């Protein structure tokens, strides 16, 4: 089956529908065909959170995001998008997460070298590797530091680790 590239993300199969988000018709959220009837009659607004875009709708309790609306039976504190795209609300892309796990799947500051948690310490003339506030270690070689960061992130956060 052909794939579709949606918001820069390659969709694995064409069994989805695009839900209009916002007033100007420039944005769409992807949902599974099985969820189409549930969401198509609602008006979805665009909400930005940092660099990510999300679809939200009004409810009798205030407002809710499309991904939380689809996973409404979940008691998890957060519904995480595996690929980091807030408008990709396909079921394969949504998972329950803690706040900490969700934070590990967030694109962060890469401090100029392209890898979060790896920084050059001029005073020591070494690469410093951290995960959050935890020090992983210091390394002479940048590539060795990057590999140490990836290994530590995978050990600590498992499938939630963003290895970039």
Q: In the Cβ-directed half-sphere of 9, how many Cα atoms lie within 13 Å?
A: 19
Residues 36 and 95 in one domain: yes
| Average pLDDT of the residues in 126-144 | 87
Q: Which of 59, 82, 102 lies at the terminal end of a domain, its last residue?
A: 102
Residues 17 and 98 in one domain: yes
Neighbour-count burial for 125-134, b at 16+ CB within 10 Å, e otherwise: ebbbbebeee
Residues 71 and 135 in one domain: no
Residues 34 and 91 in one domain: yes
Higher-confidence residue: 105 or 92?
92
Q: Is residue 153 part of a domain?
A: yes
Write the burial class of residue 59 (CB in 10 Å: 0-12 exposed, 13-18 middle, 19+ buried): exposed
Q: Which of 60, 75, 102 lies at the terminal end of a domain, its last residue?
A: 102
- Residue 138 banded pLDDT, cuts 50, 70, 90: very high
Residues 33 and 67 in one domain: yes
Question: Cα 37–31–34 angle (5° rounding)?
Answer: 45
Q: Which two tokens stand for residue 28?
A: 């769409």
- Beta-sheet pairing, 16-21 with 52-59: unpaired
Q: Is residue 164 part of a domain?
A: no
Q: Is residue 10 part of a domain?
A: yes
**Residue 107 predicted with pLDDT over 80:** no
**What confidence tens digit (pLDDT) does each residue in 60-91 have?**
888 999 999 999 888 889 898 887 888 999 99
Query: Which structural domain range is residue 88 located in?
Result: 4-102
Q: Which two tokens stand for residue 58?
A: 């009004």
Of the candidates 31, 29, 28, the residue with the CA atom closest to the CA atom of residue 14: 31
Q: Is residue 162 part of a domain?
A: no
Q: Which of 84, 102, 120 lies at the terminal end of a domain, its last residue?
A: 102
- Residue 46 banded pLDDT, cuts 50, 70, 90: very high
């Amino acid at each position: 089956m052909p794939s579709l590239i949606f918001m820069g993300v390659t969709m694995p199969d064409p069994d989805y529908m695009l839900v209009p988000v916002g007033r100007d018709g420039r944005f769409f959220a992807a949902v599974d065909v099985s969820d189409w009837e549930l969401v198509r009659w609602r008006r979805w607004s665009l909400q930005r959170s940092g660099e990510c875009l999300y679809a939200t709708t009004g409810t009798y309790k205030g407002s809710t995001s499309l991904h939380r609306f689809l996973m409404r039976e979940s008691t998890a504190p957060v519904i995480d998008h595996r690929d980091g795209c807030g408008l990709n609300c396909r079921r394969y892309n949504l998972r329950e997460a803690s706040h900490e796990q969700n934070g590990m799947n967030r694109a962060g500051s890469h401090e100029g070298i392209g890898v979060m948690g790896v920084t050059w310490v001029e005073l020591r003339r070494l690469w410093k590797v951290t995960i959050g506030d935890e020090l992983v270690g210091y390394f002479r070689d940048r590539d060795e530091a990057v590999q140490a960061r990836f290994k530590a992130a995978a050990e600590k956060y498992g499938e939630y680790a963003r290895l970039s």
